Amino acid sequence: ATFPNLEELKLEWNDIMREIWQGQLEAKFFCKLKVFEFIKFIPHSAALPHGFFQSLPNLEKLVVNEAPFNHIFEGLRDEEGSYGSTTLQLSELMLSKLLELTYIWKENYCESSAAFCNLTTIEVQECGKLKNLMPSSMLFANLTTLEVSDGLMNHLMSCSTAKSLTQLTKMIVIDCKMVEEIIACKCDEDEVNGGIVFSRLSFLQLSRLLNLKSFCLGDHIDIEFPALEKLIVNGCPRMEIFCQGDLSTPKLQQVQLTDYEDGENRQWEGKVTIQQMFDEKV
């Protein structure tokens, strides 16, 4: 039987899931499937296989909960067996309770980075071994929402990836105990020229990041938040400066800072610079 009109499917591991997993179902079986959620994946596997996406050509939302993957995506091949030309419809990626996950995309995932140009949402929760969130080889020009909790990353993204986030409106980072900076930039790289502009980011939350030192530690790297209206920083006791370079936040109206060392909640109403907040903290 085929399911020509099915648009949403939620499965635990079973025989149907096994066939999809092994790439035995042709695209016609789920030609309109847009949302696929699977939980409690049983067989041990390193990543989602190529055949999985070939079986679901119109997939827009992927939810993976409780699975033993080491990473999620491998290089995607087109019908001729080559990399680079495959483009997915995937716009939402939600991962949770993946206890063995160390990578979503491996750092050398440049051959098929264009496949994910439609992504608008990335949410990652309770993936405690995650070491790399966004490879420097990948750009996310349409991403609007980024939410991350837990993991072993020491930074979230490279400078080149950060500069591609022109559509990002919300960023939330919570409980990433090893993170020292959100953006890692090397001053000798050409990619830092012109600074970093988060054109549409209006909400930024950094919570319970015990080793966070700064949003960006790179010297003389200017950062602009022309649309930022609310900033929340709590439980980041090592953070004493937001960035080393010039910082622009012309629309910032509310800043909230809570330091676990004294338990005091400091909140600023009205226009205020982020550096004033950290001067007051010190």
Confidence at 271, pLDDT banded by 50, 70, 90: very low
Say yes or no to pLDDT of 94 above 90.
yes
Model pLDDT for residues 169-190, shown as the tens digit of each residue:
999 999 999 999 999 987 555 5
pLDDT higher than 80, residue 1: no
Q: How confident is the model at residue 84 (pLDDT cuts 50, 70, 90)?
A: very low
> Average pLDDT over the chain, rounded to whole?
80
Q: Provide mean pLDDT across the span 153-182.
A: 95
pTM for the complete prediction? 0.84
Task: Name the architecture of domain 59-65+73-183+196-280.
Answer: Alpha-Beta Horseshoe (3.80)
Q: Rounded distance, CA 84 to CA 273, Å?
A: 43
Band the pLDDT of 34: cuts 50, 70, 90. Answer: very high
Distance CA 91, CA 105 (A): 16
The whole-angstrom separation of Cα 215 and Cα 259 is 16
pLDDT at residue 24 is higher than 50: yes
pLDDT of residue 162: 94
Q: Which helix (H) or strand (E) holds 221?
A: none
3-state SS class at 245: coil
Give the Cα separation of 2 and 186 in Å (integer).
52
